[in-house]
Amino acid sequence: MPDLIDKPLTIVGIGLGRFVAHSLLFTTVTFTVSRDLGFGCTMHLILDRIWEEPKVLFFPFLGMLPSIHHTIYDFLRILLTNRTVQAWELIGLICLAIHSRVKS
């Protein structure tokens, strides 16, 4: 879910690909809406190793983030060529499948 929000924002020039939906504040709000959404957002932050970007993790409490413009092509190129990104996406899918199975 964080990527579904933040990546389109980057395409229109807001944020850096990790923005408001990659923050603890957003994750906390999602928990109030749904435990499953909150769990998914938490797992996403862990798999993104978001603690390496404290300004994003604690947004907006550590100040505003700069913006950059990316295209959909940029994201697809990274997904299709970067083995590390592919591995983390696969791990995320496995976590989602396990969570769905345990919940049933």
pLDDT tens digit string along 26-35?
999 999 998 8
Please state the domain count of the chain.
Answer: 1
User: In Å, what is the CA distance from 94 to each residue of 38, 79, 87?
Assistant: 17, 17, 11
CA distance 29 to 57: 14
Please return the burial class of 95, using the count of CB atoms within 10 Å of its CB with bins 0-12, 13-18 and 19+.
middle
Domain span including residue 26: 2-103
Confidence (pLDDT) at 23: 92
Mind listing the pLDDT tens digit for each residue in 66-79? 666 667 777 788 88
CA distance 64 to 15: 9
CA distance 96 to 5: 18
The tokens describing 4, both together, are 């579904």
pTM listed for this prediction: 0.64
Q: Residue type for 6, please?
A: D
Read off the pLDDT of each residue in 34-47 and give the average, rounded to a whole number: 89
Mind listing the pLDDT tens digit for each residue in 45-91? 998 888 888 888 888 888 776 666 667 777 788 888 989 888 888 88
pLDDT at 43 over 70: yes
- The radius of gyration computed from the CA coordinates of the chain, to the nearest angstrom, equals 14
